[in-house]
Chains A and B, each alone.
Chain A
Amino acid sequence: MRDKSIFTPWISLAPALTVILVMLGASLFYAIAESLGFISVIGQGDISFSAYRATLAADSEFWVSLGFSLWISITSTFISSVIALALAVWLSSRNKESDTLALNWNLAFPHLVFAIALLLFLSQSGLFARWAASLGLIAAPDQFPILVRDRFGIGIILSYIGKEVPFLTLILLSVLRSQSIRYDVVAENLGASHWQRLRYVTIPQVLPALLAGDLLVFGFIFSSYEVPALLGVGYPRALPVLALRFFLDPDLRARSEGMVISLIITLIVILVAVISLRIGERQE
Chain B
Amino acid sequence: MKRIASYALRMILYFILVAPLLLFIAYAFSTRWFFPQPFPIEWTLTTFQRAIDDSRTLSSMAQGIWIAVLVSLLSLILALPTARVLGLRKFRGRQLAWLLLFLPTVIPPLAIGMGLNILFLRIGLAGTIAGVVLAHIIPTLPYTIFTLSSAYARFDENYEFQALALGASPWNIFFKVTLRMLAPSLVVATLFAFLISWSQYLLTLLIGGGQVITLPILLFSAASGGNPATIANLSLLFIAPPILVIAATARQLNQHGNEIREQY
Contacts and interface: CB of A to CB of B under 8 A. Distances in A.
Interface of A: 6, 9-10, 12-13, 15-17, 19-21, 23-24, 26-31, 33-34, 41, 87, 90, 97-117, 119-121, 125, 127, 130-131, 133-134, 141, 166-167, 170-171, 174, 216, 219-220, 223-226, 229-230, 240, 243-244, 247, 258-259, 262-263, 265-266, 269-270, 273
Given A20-B104, A112-B199, A127-B23, A107 B119 contact: no
Interface in B15-52: 17-21, 23-24, 26-27, 35-38
Given A30-B116, A247-B114, 5 more contacts: A23-B112, A98-B14, A115-B223, A120-B231, A223-B110
Given A87-B13, A116-B231, A127-B23, A24 B199 contact: no
Contacts, number: 228
Nearest to B209: A248
Nearest to A11: B81
Which of A19, A240, A258, A265 counts the most chain B CB atoms within 10 A? Answer: A19
A273 B116 CA distance: 22
Interface string B249-264: 0100110011011101
A67 to B, nearest CB: 19
Nearest to B116: A27
B134 A12 contact: no
A26 B116 contact: yes
Nearest to A114: B20
28 contacts: A12-B82, A16-B145, A20-B101, A23-B112, A24-B107, A24-B112, A27-B112, A30-B116, A90-B6, A97-B254, A104-B253, A105-B246, A107-B257, A108-B239, A109-B242, A110-B239, A112-B238, A113-B238, A113-B239, A114-B20, A120-B23, A134-B38, A141-B35, A170-B257, A247-B114, A262-B110, A266-B107, A269-B108
A130 B77 CA distance: 51
B224 interface: yes
B20 A17 contact: no
Interface in B194-218: 199, 201-202, 216
B223 A107 contact: no
A230 B223 contact: yes
Given A113-B235, A117-B235, A26 B119 contact: yes
B56 interface: no
B23 A17 contact: no
B122 interface: yes
A140 to B, nearest CB: 9
Given A104-B250, A243-B110, A34 B81 contact: no
B23 A20 contact: no
B171 interface: no
Interface residues of B, number: 84
B82 A34 contact: no
Nearest to B107: A266
A258 B114 contact: yes
Given A26-B119, A125-B35, A259-B114, A226 B82 contact: no
A17 B35 contact: no
Given A107-B246, A134-B38, A27 B101 contact: no
Q: Is the interface of A mostly helix, strand, loop or mixed?
A: helix
A13 B13 CA distance: 44
A247 B93 CA distance: 37
B62 interface: no
Contacts of A247: 114, 117
A119 B211 CA distance: 28
The 8 closest A-B pairs by CB, nearest first: A27-B115, A223-B108, A133-B36, A117-B20, A31-B115, A12-B81, A110-B199, A30-B118
Contacts of A259: 114
A34 B13 CA distance: 48
Interface in B125-151: 134-135, 137-138, 141-142, 145
Nearest to A96: B10
A216 to B, nearest CB: 6
Nearest to A131: B38
B60 to A, nearest CB: 14
A103 B17 contact: yes
Contacts of B94: 9
Contacts of B254: 97, 100, 104
A12 B104 contact: no
A177 to B, nearest CB: 10
B78 A120 contact: no
B108 A266 contact: yes
Nearest to B16: A162
Contacts of B78: 15-16, 19
Contact of A113 (B20, B35, B137, B141): B20
B220 A15 contact: no
